[in-house]
Chain A
Amino acid sequence: MTLAYSFKSAFQSLCREKWINILSMLTVASSLLIITLTAFFLYNVELVASHLPDRFSLVAYLNDNISQEEIQGIVDTLKRRDDIAALKYISKDDAIKELKQTLKDTRYILEGLNENPLSSSIEIRLKRDFVTSASAKRISEEIKKVSGIDDVYYGEKVAEAIYLLKKSLQNMSIIIFITISTGVVFVAYSTVKILFYRRKEEIEIIKLLGATKGFIRMPFLIEGGTIGFFGGILGIIGALLFYLAITYRLSMVIPMLKTLVFPLEILILLPITGIALGIVGSVIAIGRLKL
Protein backbone atom coordinates (compact mmCIF):
# COMPACT_ATOMS: atom_id res chain seq x y z
CA MET A 1 0.00 0.00 0.00
CA THR A 2 2.53 2.50 1.22
CA LEU A 3 4.97 1.42 -1.47
CA ALA A 4 2.41 2.05 -4.21
CA TYR A 5 1.91 5.52 -2.81
CA SER A 6 5.68 6.12 -2.65
CA PHE A 7 5.99 5.25 -6.33
CA LYS A 8 3.11 7.51 -7.28
CA SER A 9 4.53 10.35 -5.27
CA ALA A 10 8.01 9.81 -6.75
CA PHE A 11 6.73 9.88 -10.33
CA GLN A 12 4.62 12.97 -9.70
CA SER A 13 7.71 14.68 -8.39
CA LEU A 14 9.78 13.47 -11.37
CA CYS A 15 7.18 14.91 -13.76
CA ARG A 16 6.95 18.21 -11.93
CA GLU A 17 10.68 18.79 -12.28
CA LYS A 18 10.99 17.13 -15.66
CA TRP A 19 13.79 19.23 -17.14
CA ILE A 20 16.14 18.73 -14.22
CA ASN A 21 15.41 15.03 -14.37
CA ILE A 22 15.80 14.63 -18.11
CA LEU A 23 19.11 16.44 -17.91
CA SER A 24 20.29 14.16 -15.11
CA MET A 25 19.21 11.07 -17.02
CA LEU A 26 21.18 12.20 -20.06
CA THR A 27 24.23 12.87 -17.92
CA VAL A 28 23.96 9.47 -16.31
CA ALA A 29 23.45 7.91 -19.76
CA SER A 30 26.60 9.43 -21.23
CA SER A 31 28.60 8.49 -18.15
CA LEU A 32 27.45 4.89 -18.35
CA LEU A 33 28.21 4.92 -22.06
CA ILE A 34 31.80 5.96 -21.36
CA ILE A 35 32.12 3.09 -18.89
CA THR A 36 30.72 0.68 -21.47
CA LEU A 37 33.08 1.81 -24.20
CA THR A 38 36.02 1.51 -21.84
CA ALA A 39 34.96 -2.01 -20.95
CA PHE A 40 34.53 -2.81 -24.62
CA PHE A 41 37.97 -1.50 -25.45
CA LEU A 42 39.57 -3.40 -22.60
CA TYR A 43 37.75 -6.57 -23.54
CA ASN A 44 39.10 -6.46 -27.07
CA VAL A 45 42.66 -5.78 -25.95
CA GLU A 46 42.43 -8.79 -23.64
CA LEU A 47 41.13 -10.86 -26.48
CA VAL A 48 44.02 -9.91 -28.74
CA ALA A 49 46.51 -10.41 -25.97
CA SER A 50 45.24 -13.89 -25.22
CA HIS A 51 46.12 -14.98 -28.76
CA LEU A 52 49.68 -13.82 -28.49
CA PRO A 53 52.46 -15.95 -27.04
CA ASP A 54 53.06 -15.26 -23.40
CA ARG A 55 56.28 -14.05 -21.92
CA PHE A 56 57.76 -17.46 -21.37
CA SER A 57 57.54 -18.93 -24.80
CA LEU A 58 59.52 -19.17 -28.00
CA VAL A 59 58.36 -20.54 -31.31
CA ALA A 60 60.77 -22.48 -33.47
CA TYR A 61 59.71 -22.66 -37.14
CA LEU A 62 60.84 -25.78 -38.95
CA ASN A 63 62.16 -26.10 -42.47
CA ASP A 64 59.66 -27.03 -45.15
CA ASN A 65 59.50 -30.65 -46.29
CA ILE A 66 61.03 -31.87 -43.08
CA SER A 67 60.52 -35.58 -42.37
CA GLN A 68 58.79 -37.12 -39.41
CA GLU A 69 62.08 -38.64 -38.12
CA GLU A 70 63.89 -35.32 -38.34
CA ILE A 71 61.14 -33.69 -36.33
CA GLN A 72 61.47 -36.40 -33.71
CA GLY A 73 65.20 -35.80 -33.65
CA ILE A 74 64.77 -32.10 -33.06
CA VAL A 75 62.25 -32.70 -30.28
CA ASP A 76 64.67 -35.12 -28.59
CA THR A 77 67.53 -32.66 -28.86
CA LEU A 78 65.46 -29.89 -27.33
CA LYS A 79 64.14 -32.13 -24.57
CA ARG A 80 67.69 -32.76 -23.37
CA ARG A 81 68.14 -29.06 -22.57
CA ASP A 82 67.60 -28.16 -18.94
CA ASP A 83 66.17 -24.72 -19.59
CA ILE A 84 63.03 -25.89 -21.40
CA ALA A 85 59.89 -26.69 -19.46
CA ALA A 86 57.62 -27.98 -22.22
CA LEU A 87 57.38 -28.50 -25.95
CA LYS A 88 54.47 -28.63 -28.29
CA TYR A 89 54.68 -29.63 -31.92
CA ILE A 90 52.24 -27.87 -34.24
CA SER A 91 51.99 -29.20 -37.79
CA LYS A 92 51.32 -26.78 -40.63
CA ASP A 93 47.81 -28.25 -40.98
CA ASP A 94 47.06 -27.55 -37.34
CA ALA A 95 48.42 -24.05 -37.78
CA ILE A 96 46.11 -23.18 -40.67
CA LYS A 97 43.16 -24.67 -38.79
CA GLU A 98 43.86 -22.49 -35.81
CA LEU A 99 44.26 -19.42 -37.99
CA LYS A 100 40.93 -20.10 -39.62
CA GLN A 101 39.40 -20.48 -36.20
CA THR A 102 40.81 -17.15 -35.06
CA LEU A 103 39.64 -15.31 -38.15
CA LYS A 104 36.18 -16.88 -38.08
CA ASP A 105 34.09 -14.11 -39.66
CA THR A 106 36.84 -12.78 -41.82
CA ARG A 107 37.85 -16.05 -43.38
CA TYR A 108 37.76 -14.47 -46.82
CA ILE A 109 41.23 -13.10 -46.09
CA LEU A 110 42.51 -16.64 -46.72
CA GLU A 111 40.50 -17.17 -49.88
CA GLY A 112 42.52 -17.77 -52.98
CA LEU A 113 45.32 -19.57 -51.22
CA ASN A 114 45.86 -22.95 -52.84
CA GLU A 115 48.79 -23.89 -50.76
CA ASN A 116 49.24 -23.74 -47.01
CA PRO A 117 51.71 -20.86 -46.52
CA LEU A 118 52.40 -21.66 -42.88
CA SER A 119 55.29 -23.65 -41.47
CA SER A 120 55.26 -26.44 -38.95
CA SER A 121 56.53 -25.20 -35.64
CA ILE A 122 57.46 -26.19 -32.12
CA GLU A 123 56.16 -24.07 -29.30
CA ILE A 124 58.76 -23.94 -26.53
CA ARG A 125 57.93 -22.98 -23.00
CA LEU A 126 60.94 -21.92 -20.94
CA LYS A 127 61.46 -22.65 -17.30
CA ARG A 128 60.76 -19.63 -15.19
CA ASP A 129 64.39 -19.15 -14.18
CA PHE A 130 65.40 -18.55 -17.77
CA VAL A 131 62.95 -15.88 -18.66
CA THR A 132 65.21 -12.88 -18.34
CA SER A 133 65.63 -10.98 -21.56
CA ALA A 134 69.25 -11.96 -21.89
CA SER A 135 68.85 -15.71 -21.37
CA ALA A 136 65.78 -15.92 -23.63
CA LYS A 137 67.85 -14.30 -26.33
CA ARG A 138 70.82 -16.63 -25.78
CA ILE A 139 68.59 -19.71 -25.76
CA SER A 140 66.82 -18.65 -28.94
CA GLU A 141 70.17 -18.24 -30.68
CA GLU A 142 71.36 -21.65 -29.55
CA ILE A 143 68.16 -23.30 -30.72
CA LYS A 144 68.42 -21.62 -34.10
CA LYS A 145 71.63 -23.64 -34.68
CA VAL A 146 69.85 -27.00 -34.39
CA SER A 147 69.57 -28.41 -37.89
CA GLY A 148 66.06 -28.49 -39.32
CA ILE A 149 65.06 -25.30 -37.51
CA ASP A 150 64.51 -22.43 -39.89
CA ASP A 151 63.96 -19.56 -37.51
CA VAL A 152 63.11 -18.84 -33.90
CA TYR A 153 60.47 -16.34 -33.07
CA TYR A 154 61.33 -14.76 -29.85
CA GLY A 155 58.30 -12.79 -28.70
CA GLU A 156 59.66 -11.36 -25.51
CA LYS A 157 59.56 -7.70 -26.56
CA VAL A 158 56.12 -7.78 -28.13
CA ALA A 159 54.69 -9.83 -25.33
CA GLU A 160 56.23 -7.51 -22.79
CA ALA A 161 54.74 -4.49 -24.54
CA ILE A 162 51.32 -6.07 -24.81
CA TYR A 163 51.47 -7.07 -21.19
CA LEU A 164 52.34 -3.54 -20.12
CA LEU A 165 49.65 -2.09 -22.37
CA LYS A 166 47.13 -4.49 -20.88
CA LYS A 167 48.14 -3.62 -17.33
CA SER A 168 48.00 0.11 -17.87
CA LEU A 169 44.70 -0.16 -19.71
CA GLN A 170 43.32 -2.13 -16.78
CA ASN A 171 44.50 0.49 -14.33
CA MET A 172 43.13 3.27 -16.49
CA SER A 173 39.77 1.49 -16.76
CA ILE A 174 39.57 1.18 -13.00
CA ILE A 175 40.29 4.88 -12.63
CA ILE A 176 37.74 5.76 -15.31
CA PHE A 177 35.20 3.46 -13.73
CA ILE A 178 35.64 4.96 -10.27
CA THR A 179 35.66 8.56 -11.50
CA ILE A 180 32.61 8.16 -13.68
CA SER A 181 30.68 6.20 -11.04
CA THR A 182 31.40 8.95 -8.54
CA GLY A 183 30.15 11.40 -11.14
CA VAL A 184 26.91 9.47 -11.57
CA VAL A 185 26.43 9.31 -7.80
CA PHE A 186 27.01 13.06 -7.66
CA VAL A 187 24.45 13.75 -10.40
CA ALA A 188 21.84 11.66 -8.57
CA TYR A 189 22.86 13.32 -5.31
CA SER A 190 22.38 16.87 -6.54
CA THR A 191 19.15 16.14 -8.38
CA VAL A 192 17.58 14.41 -5.41
CA LYS A 193 18.90 17.17 -3.14
CA ILE A 194 17.01 19.73 -5.23
CA LEU A 195 13.83 17.65 -5.18
CA PHE A 196 14.26 17.15 -1.44
CA TYR A 197 14.64 20.87 -0.72
CA ARG A 198 11.64 21.72 -2.87
CA ARG A 199 9.60 19.46 -0.61
CA LYS A 200 11.20 20.47 2.67
CA GLU A 201 8.01 22.05 3.97
CA GLU A 202 5.89 19.07 3.01
CA ILE A 203 8.37 16.78 4.76
CA GLU A 204 8.22 18.81 7.97
CA ILE A 205 4.43 18.52 7.86
CA ILE A 206 4.26 14.79 7.30
CA LYS A 207 6.78 14.26 10.09
CA LEU A 208 4.29 15.88 12.46
CA LEU A 209 1.53 13.65 11.08
CA GLY A 210 3.55 10.59 12.12
CA ALA A 211 5.48 9.61 9.00
CA THR A 212 8.38 7.21 9.59
CA LYS A 213 11.85 7.88 8.17
CA GLY A 214 11.25 5.10 5.67
CA PHE A 215 8.03 6.67 4.45
CA ILE A 216 9.80 10.01 3.98
CA ARG A 217 12.86 8.52 2.29
CA MET A 218 11.21 6.03 -0.04
CA PRO A 219 9.98 8.43 -2.76
CA PHE A 220 13.45 10.00 -3.00
CA LEU A 221 15.18 6.63 -3.26
CA ILE A 222 12.73 5.74 -6.01
CA GLU A 223 13.45 9.03 -7.76
CA GLY A 224 17.21 8.47 -7.62
CA GLY A 225 16.81 4.88 -8.77
CA THR A 226 14.54 5.95 -11.63
CA ILE A 227 17.01 8.55 -12.86
CA GLY A 228 19.71 5.86 -12.80
CA PHE A 229 17.45 3.33 -14.50
CA PHE A 230 16.46 5.57 -17.40
CA GLY A 231 20.06 6.77 -17.62
CA GLY A 232 20.97 3.11 -18.07
CA ILE A 233 18.30 2.58 -20.73
CA LEU A 234 19.49 5.62 -22.67
CA GLY A 235 23.04 4.32 -22.22
CA ILE A 236 22.00 1.02 -23.85
CA ILE A 237 20.55 2.89 -26.79
CA GLY A 238 23.78 4.85 -27.12
CA ALA A 239 25.89 1.69 -26.93
CA LEU A 240 23.75 -0.05 -29.56
CA LEU A 241 24.09 2.92 -31.89
CA PHE A 242 27.85 2.75 -31.38
CA TYR A 243 27.79 -0.98 -32.09
CA LEU A 244 25.78 -0.53 -35.28
CA ALA A 245 28.08 2.27 -36.36
CA ILE A 246 31.22 0.16 -36.06
CA THR A 247 29.78 -3.06 -37.45
CA TYR A 248 27.93 -1.61 -40.43
CA ARG A 249 29.34 1.77 -41.25
CA LEU A 250 32.93 2.09 -40.14
CA SER A 251 33.90 -1.47 -40.89
CA MET A 252 33.26 -0.89 -44.56
CA VAL A 253 35.97 1.71 -44.48
CA ILE A 254 38.24 -0.03 -41.99
CA PRO A 255 37.74 -3.82 -42.34
CA MET A 256 39.91 -4.50 -39.33
CA LEU A 257 37.07 -3.22 -37.12
CA LYS A 258 35.19 -6.35 -38.14
CA THR A 259 37.35 -8.38 -35.84
CA LEU A 260 36.21 -6.36 -32.81
CA VAL A 261 33.95 -8.27 -30.47
CA PHE A 262 31.12 -6.47 -28.73
CA PRO A 263 29.61 -8.49 -25.87
CA LEU A 264 26.03 -7.20 -25.91
CA GLU A 265 25.22 -9.10 -22.71
CA ILE A 266 27.03 -6.52 -20.62
CA LEU A 267 24.47 -3.90 -21.63
CA ILE A 268 21.99 -5.42 -19.20
CA LEU A 269 24.30 -4.23 -16.44
CA LEU A 270 23.76 -0.58 -17.36
CA PRO A 271 20.28 -0.05 -15.87
CA ILE A 272 21.26 -2.13 -12.84
CA THR A 273 24.41 -0.07 -12.28
CA GLY A 274 22.34 3.06 -12.88
CA ILE A 275 19.76 2.10 -10.26
CA ALA A 276 22.44 1.21 -7.71
CA LEU A 277 24.42 4.43 -8.20
CA GLY A 278 21.21 6.49 -8.25
CA ILE A 279 20.07 5.05 -4.95
CA VAL A 280 23.49 5.62 -3.38
CA GLY A 281 23.30 9.28 -4.49
CA SER A 282 19.81 9.63 -3.00
CA VAL A 283 20.82 8.12 0.30
CA ILE A 284 23.67 10.64 0.59
CA ALA A 285 21.37 13.49 -0.49
CA ILE A 286 18.74 12.76 2.14
CA GLY A 287 21.36 12.25 4.82
CA ARG A 288 20.37 11.70 8.40
CA LEU A 289 16.72 12.49 8.97
CA LYS A 290 15.62 13.86 12.29
CA LEU A 291 12.03 13.18 13.24
Chain B
Amino acid sequence: MIAFQNVSKYYEHQGVLKNITFSVQKGEMAFLTGPSGAGKSTLLKLMYLAEWPDEGDIVIEDFHLQSLKPPEIPLLRRSIGVVFQDFKLINNLTVFDNVAMALRIKGVGEKEIKNLVSVALKKVHLRHLSDSYPRSLSGGEQQRVVIARAIVTEPLVLLADEPTGNLDPNTSIDIIKLFEEINLQGTTILIATHNRELFRNTGRRVLKLDGGNLVGEEVG
Protein backbone atom coordinates (compact mmCIF):
# COMPACT_ATOMS: atom_id res chain seq x y z
CA MET B 1 0.00 0.00 0.00
CA ILE B 2 1.19 3.48 -0.85
CA ALA B 3 -0.38 6.62 0.65
CA PHE B 4 0.68 10.26 0.22
CA GLN B 5 -0.93 12.85 2.50
CA ASN B 6 -0.34 16.53 1.59
CA VAL B 7 3.23 15.90 0.54
CA SER B 8 5.41 18.75 -0.73
CA LYS B 9 9.01 18.85 -1.86
CA TYR B 10 11.12 21.91 -2.60
CA TYR B 11 14.42 22.30 -4.37
CA GLU B 12 15.92 25.68 -3.42
CA HIS B 13 12.51 27.11 -2.47
CA GLN B 14 11.11 25.94 -5.82
CA GLY B 15 8.12 23.64 -5.30
CA VAL B 16 8.73 20.46 -7.27
CA LEU B 17 5.83 18.57 -5.68
CA LYS B 18 2.94 20.56 -4.22
CA ASN B 19 0.51 19.20 -1.69
CA ILE B 20 0.25 15.73 -3.22
CA THR B 21 -2.42 13.38 -1.84
CA PHE B 22 -3.20 9.98 -3.33
CA SER B 23 -3.05 6.30 -2.53
CA VAL B 24 -2.44 3.03 -4.32
CA GLN B 25 -4.08 0.00 -2.74
CA LYS B 26 -2.24 -3.11 -1.68
CA GLY B 27 -1.93 -5.37 -4.72
CA GLU B 28 -2.92 -2.61 -7.15
CA MET B 29 -0.95 -1.73 -10.27
CA ALA B 30 -1.16 1.96 -11.23
CA PHE B 31 0.56 4.41 -13.56
CA LEU B 32 1.96 7.89 -13.00
CA THR B 33 2.24 10.10 -16.05
CA GLY B 34 3.02 13.68 -16.99
CA PRO B 35 5.38 15.75 -19.09
CA SER B 36 9.11 15.82 -18.56
CA GLY B 37 9.96 17.77 -15.44
CA ALA B 38 6.52 17.20 -13.91
CA GLY B 39 8.06 15.60 -10.83
CA LYS B 40 7.45 11.88 -11.46
CA SER B 41 10.96 10.75 -10.52
CA THR B 42 10.97 13.02 -7.50
CA LEU B 43 7.70 11.54 -6.30
CA LEU B 44 9.15 8.02 -6.53
CA LYS B 45 12.40 9.10 -4.81
CA LEU B 46 10.44 10.26 -1.77
CA MET B 47 9.15 6.72 -1.32
CA TYR B 48 12.54 5.02 -1.04
CA LEU B 49 14.01 8.06 0.70
CA ALA B 50 16.56 9.04 -1.92
CA GLU B 51 14.99 12.41 -1.16
CA TRP B 52 13.12 13.46 1.96
CA PRO B 53 9.71 15.10 1.83
CA ASP B 54 9.58 18.65 3.20
CA GLU B 55 5.94 18.46 4.20
CA GLY B 56 3.26 15.82 4.64
CA ASP B 57 3.35 12.12 5.43
CA ILE B 58 3.99 9.06 3.31
CA VAL B 59 3.03 5.52 4.27
CA ILE B 60 4.50 2.51 2.46
CA GLU B 61 3.05 -0.75 3.76
CA ASP B 62 3.86 -0.65 7.50
CA PHE B 63 6.41 2.14 7.26
CA HIS B 64 5.39 5.65 8.29
CA LEU B 65 8.18 7.70 6.76
CA GLN B 66 7.66 10.71 9.00
CA SER B 67 8.48 8.73 12.13
CA LEU B 68 10.96 6.30 10.58
CA LYS B 69 14.02 5.62 12.74
CA PRO B 70 17.39 5.60 10.92
CA PRO B 71 17.96 1.83 11.36
CA GLU B 72 14.62 1.21 9.63
CA ILE B 73 15.68 2.96 6.42
CA PRO B 74 17.44 -0.14 5.02
CA LEU B 75 14.39 -2.24 5.90
CA LEU B 76 12.10 0.14 4.01
CA ARG B 77 14.37 0.16 0.97
CA ARG B 78 14.64 -3.63 0.94
CA SER B 79 10.89 -3.99 0.78
CA ILE B 80 10.73 -1.73 -2.27
CA GLY B 81 12.04 -2.81 -5.70
CA VAL B 82 13.09 0.17 -7.80
CA VAL B 83 13.67 0.37 -11.53
CA PHE B 84 15.76 3.55 -11.60
CA GLN B 85 15.39 5.89 -14.54
CA ASP B 86 19.20 6.22 -14.66
CA PHE B 87 19.71 2.46 -14.04
CA LYS B 88 22.28 2.72 -11.22
CA LEU B 89 24.14 -0.41 -12.25
CA ILE B 90 27.55 -1.09 -10.72
CA ASN B 91 30.03 -1.08 -13.59
CA ASN B 92 32.71 -3.31 -12.11
CA LEU B 93 30.26 -6.09 -11.27
CA THR B 94 28.86 -8.57 -13.79
CA VAL B 95 25.18 -8.69 -14.67
CA PHE B 96 24.84 -11.65 -12.32
CA ASP B 97 26.51 -9.83 -9.42
CA ASN B 98 24.50 -6.68 -10.02
CA VAL B 99 21.27 -8.60 -9.67
CA ALA B 100 22.68 -10.68 -6.81
CA MET B 101 23.60 -7.52 -4.89
CA ALA B 102 19.97 -6.91 -3.94
CA LEU B 103 19.91 -10.37 -2.34
CA ARG B 104 23.34 -10.18 -0.71
CA ILE B 105 22.25 -7.00 1.01
CA LYS B 106 19.37 -8.97 2.48
CA GLY B 107 21.74 -11.70 3.67
CA VAL B 108 20.43 -14.43 1.36
CA GLY B 109 22.71 -17.47 1.03
CA GLU B 110 24.85 -17.89 -2.09
CA LYS B 111 23.18 -21.09 -3.22
CA GLU B 112 19.75 -19.55 -3.15
CA ILE B 113 21.12 -16.45 -4.83
CA LYS B 114 22.26 -18.55 -7.79
CA ASN B 115 18.75 -19.90 -8.32
CA LEU B 116 16.87 -16.67 -7.75
CA VAL B 117 19.15 -14.61 -9.99
CA SER B 118 18.95 -17.03 -12.89
CA VAL B 119 15.15 -17.13 -12.61
CA ALA B 120 15.01 -13.31 -12.62
CA LEU B 121 17.40 -13.02 -15.58
CA LYS B 122 15.33 -15.55 -17.48
CA LYS B 123 12.21 -13.46 -16.94
CA VAL B 124 13.87 -10.52 -18.70
CA HIS B 125 15.47 -12.76 -21.36
CA LEU B 126 19.04 -12.04 -20.28
CA ARG B 127 20.38 -15.35 -19.03
CA HIS B 128 22.96 -15.50 -21.79
CA LEU B 129 24.46 -12.19 -20.61
CA SER B 130 24.89 -13.22 -17.00
CA ASP B 131 28.70 -12.85 -17.07
CA SER B 132 28.82 -9.63 -19.08
CA TYR B 133 29.58 -6.23 -17.61
CA PRO B 134 26.99 -3.44 -17.81
CA ARG B 135 29.15 -1.24 -20.07
CA SER B 136 29.14 -3.89 -22.79
CA LEU B 137 25.32 -4.05 -22.89
CA SER B 138 22.90 -2.04 -25.01
CA GLY B 139 20.63 0.50 -23.30
CA GLY B 140 17.68 -1.88 -23.50
CA GLU B 141 19.69 -4.76 -22.06
CA GLN B 142 20.91 -2.61 -19.20
CA GLN B 143 17.36 -1.55 -18.48
CA ARG B 144 16.29 -5.18 -18.24
CA VAL B 145 19.13 -5.93 -15.81
CA VAL B 146 17.75 -3.14 -13.61
CA ILE B 147 14.29 -4.68 -13.85
CA ALA B 148 15.69 -8.10 -12.88
CA ARG B 149 17.42 -6.56 -9.86
CA ALA B 150 14.20 -4.84 -8.81
CA ILE B 151 12.07 -7.99 -8.94
CA VAL B 152 14.57 -10.61 -7.73
CA THR B 153 13.82 -9.87 -4.05
CA GLU B 154 10.06 -10.23 -4.56
CA PRO B 155 9.45 -6.82 -2.98
CA LEU B 156 6.16 -5.75 -1.44
CA VAL B 157 6.18 -2.62 -3.59
CA LEU B 158 7.65 -2.20 -7.07
CA LEU B 159 8.41 1.29 -8.36
CA ALA B 160 9.36 1.58 -12.02
CA ASP B 161 10.64 4.90 -13.36
CA GLU B 162 10.30 4.96 -17.14
CA PRO B 163 11.02 1.20 -17.30
CA THR B 164 10.60 0.96 -21.06
CA GLY B 165 12.39 4.18 -21.99
CA ASN B 166 15.08 2.28 -23.87
CA LEU B 167 13.02 -0.64 -25.13
CA ASP B 168 11.44 -1.34 -28.49
CA PRO B 169 7.63 -1.69 -28.56
CA ASN B 170 7.66 -5.49 -28.46
CA THR B 171 10.04 -5.74 -25.52
CA SER B 172 8.02 -3.03 -23.81
CA ILE B 173 4.92 -5.16 -24.07
CA ASP B 174 6.89 -8.12 -22.64
CA ILE B 175 7.96 -6.03 -19.68
CA ILE B 176 4.43 -4.83 -18.96
CA LYS B 177 3.28 -8.47 -19.13
CA LEU B 178 6.01 -9.34 -16.64
CA PHE B 179 4.78 -6.60 -14.30
CA GLU B 180 1.21 -7.90 -14.65
CA GLU B 181 2.43 -11.37 -13.61
CA ILE B 182 4.28 -10.01 -10.61
CA ASN B 183 1.22 -7.94 -9.71
CA LEU B 184 -0.90 -11.10 -9.71
CA GLN B 185 1.32 -12.42 -6.92
CA GLY B 186 0.25 -9.48 -4.76
CA THR B 187 2.97 -6.91 -5.37
CA THR B 188 1.84 -3.27 -5.36
CA ILE B 189 3.21 -1.57 -8.48
CA LEU B 190 3.55 2.08 -9.52
CA ILE B 191 4.94 2.79 -12.99
CA ALA B 192 6.03 6.32 -13.96
CA THR B 193 6.06 6.93 -17.71
CA HIS B 194 5.19 9.44 -20.39
CA ASN B 195 4.60 6.65 -22.88
CA ARG B 196 0.79 6.52 -23.11
CA GLU B 197 1.00 3.26 -25.08
CA LEU B 198 1.98 1.46 -21.91
CA PHE B 199 -1.35 1.97 -20.14
CA ARG B 200 -3.70 2.25 -23.07
CA ASN B 201 -6.57 -0.26 -22.69
CA THR B 202 -5.15 -1.72 -19.50
CA GLY B 203 -8.09 -0.60 -17.39
CA ARG B 204 -5.57 0.54 -14.75
CA ARG B 205 -5.67 3.82 -12.82
CA VAL B 206 -3.42 6.54 -14.23
CA LEU B 207 -2.37 9.46 -11.99
CA LYS B 208 -1.60 12.63 -13.90
CA LEU B 209 1.13 14.95 -12.66
CA ASP B 210 1.93 18.37 -14.12
CA GLY B 211 4.24 21.06 -12.77
CA GLY B 212 4.39 19.35 -9.40
CA ASN B 213 0.59 19.18 -9.02
CA LEU B 214 -1.58 16.11 -9.17
CA VAL B 215 -4.01 17.32 -11.85
CA GLY B 216 -6.29 14.35 -12.19
CA GLU B 217 -6.80 10.68 -12.68
CA GLU B 218 -7.97 8.58 -15.60
CA VAL B 219 -8.46 4.96 -16.46
CA GLY B 220 -6.14 3.56 -19.11
Interface residue ranges, A against B (CB under 8 Å): 1-2, 4-5, 16, 201-202, 205-212, 215, 291
Contact = CB atoms under 8 A, between A and B. Distances in A.
A236 B144 CA distance: 51
A115 B89 CA distance: 88
12 contacts: A1-B108, A1-B110, A5-B110, A201-B90, A202-B90, A202-B92, A208-B82, A209-B78, A209-B102, A210-B105, A212-B105, A291-B73
A224 B101 CA distance: 23
A241 B55 CA distance: 68
Contacts of B104: 1-2, 5
Given A291-B70, A291-B73, A291-B74, A209 B107 contact: no
B106 interface: yes
Contacts of B106: 210
Interface in B45-91: 48, 50, 70-71, 73-78, 82, 84, 88-90
A215 B104 CA distance: 9
Contacts of B76: 210
Nearest to A205: B88
Contacts of B110: 1, 4-5
A291 B104 CA distance: 17
B49 to A, nearest CB: 8
Secondary structure call for the A interface = helix
Contact of A212 (B74, B90, B93, B149): B74
By CB atoms of chain B within 10 A, which of A206, A209, A215 has the most? A209
B109 A210 contact: no
A215 B71 CA distance: 13
Interface of B: 48, 50, 70-71, 73-78, 82, 84, 88-90, 92-93, 101-102, 104-110, 149
A32 B78 CA distance: 43
Nearest to A5: B104
Given A206-B101, A208-B88, A2 B78 contact: no
Contacts of B78: 209-210
Nearest to B108: A1
A206 B74 CA distance: 10
B77 A208 contact: yes
Contacts of A291: 70, 73-74
A220 to B, nearest CB: 16
A209 B152 CA distance: 12
A175 to B, nearest CB: 41
Given A209-B77, A212-B74, A291-B70, A1 B105 contact: no
A212 B106 CA distance: 9
Given A205-B88, A291-B74, A211 B50 contact: no
Contacts of B70: 291
B71 to A, nearest CB: 8
B161 to A, nearest CB: 12
